[in-house]
Chains A and B, each alone.
Chain A
Amino acid sequence: GQQLNQSPQSMFIQEGEDVSMNCTSSSIFNTWLWYKQDPGEGPVLLIALYKAGELTSNGRLTAQFGITRKDSFLNISASIPSDVGIYFCAGQTSGNTPLVFGKGTRLSVIA
C-alpha cells in the first residue's frame, strides 16, 4: 500500500531555533496536509496544500507541496515551548480516498 516516509523521527531543539521536517512518498498525492498532535489529544490540522509547488504559511509555520507531488516540507520558525508535540504529514489521492499518514516527527523544545 501507499506509505509516507517522514523524517526526522525526532528532534531536540533550543527555543528560538528554526525547524525543518519533510515527508516523501513513492506515490503521487494530490493533497498534502500537516497535522500536530499534543499528548492525549487527536491530531489538529495545521496546513493543507492542494497544488504542486504551492507554498502556504500559517503564522510561524510554512509548508510546501513538492513539484513532483511526491514530497512535502514543513518549516517552523523561531520555535517556542508550545511547539512541542508530534507532527504528522498526510497525503490524499482524491477526496474519496482516505488519508495516508507518515509516522510522525516528535519535536522537543528546550527553553
Chain B
Amino acid sequence: KAGVTQTPRYLIKTRGQQVTLSCSPISGHRSVSWYQQTPGQGLQFLFEYFSETQRNKGNFPGRFSGRQFSNSRSEMNVSTLELGDSALYLCASRADLTGFAATNEKLFFGSGTQLSVL
C-alpha cells in the first residue's frame, strides 16, 4: 500500500506570491490533516479535513486555506506569502472509517513539502 504522498517536495517562492501544496492520503483513508513544521515552533496544526469538510482548524491566519476532494486528496493554499511562511508542510492521513475518529487510529505522515519564501 502506498504511503501518504506530497507534491512537490521542494518549492521556492517569493514574498507576495501564492502557493498550492498537494497531498494524496493512503488509499482508503478519509481524514487528512496538515501541519507546519519550523525549527523554532515544532509541528503546528493547520487544519483537518474529513469527507470534504473542514473538521478542525488551528490558529493560523486566513491566508492559509485548504480543501479536500471526493477522492480524499487534499490541497492547501497559502496566499500572499511572507518570509515567515518558510517551513516544512506535512500532511497526515488516518482511516477514520466511521467518522467518529477513534483515538487508536494511527496518523501516518507524508515526507512533506519544504517551502522556502525569498
Contacts and interface: CB of A to CB of B under 8 A. Distances in A.
Are A and B part of the same complex?
yes
A6 to B, nearest CB: 8
A66 interface: no
Interface string B81-110: 000000000101000000011111111111
A61 interface: no
Nearest to B100: A95
B71 interface: no
Nearest to B99: A96
Nearest to A1: B59
A80 interface: no
Interface stretch (A42-50, A52-60, A70-78): A42-50
B102 A98 contact: no
A31 B109 CA distance: 18
B103 A45 contact: no
A30 interface: yes
A33 B35 CA distance: 16
A49 B23 CA distance: 28
B21 interface: no
A8 to B, nearest CB: 14
A94 B55 CA distance: 13
Contacts of A104: 42
Interface of B: 4, 33, 35, 41-45, 48, 55-56, 58-59, 90, 92, 100-112
20 contacts: A40-B111, A41-B111, A42-B4, A42-B90, A42-B110, A42-B111, A43-B90, A43-B109, A45-B106, A48-B104, A48-B106, A50-B104, A95-B102, A95-B103, A95-B105, A96-B100, A98-B48, A98-B58, A99-B43, A100-B45
Q: Closest 3 A-B residue pairs measured CB to CB?
A: A42-B109, A95-B101, A103-B42
Interface of A: 1, 30-31, 40-45, 48, 50, 88, 90, 92, 94-104
Given A95-B101, A96-B56, A102-B42, 15 more contacts: A42-B4, A42-B109, A42-B110, A43-B90, A44-B109, A45-B107, A48-B106, A50-B104, A92-B103, A95-B103, A96-B55, A98-B56, A98-B58, A101-B44, A103-B42
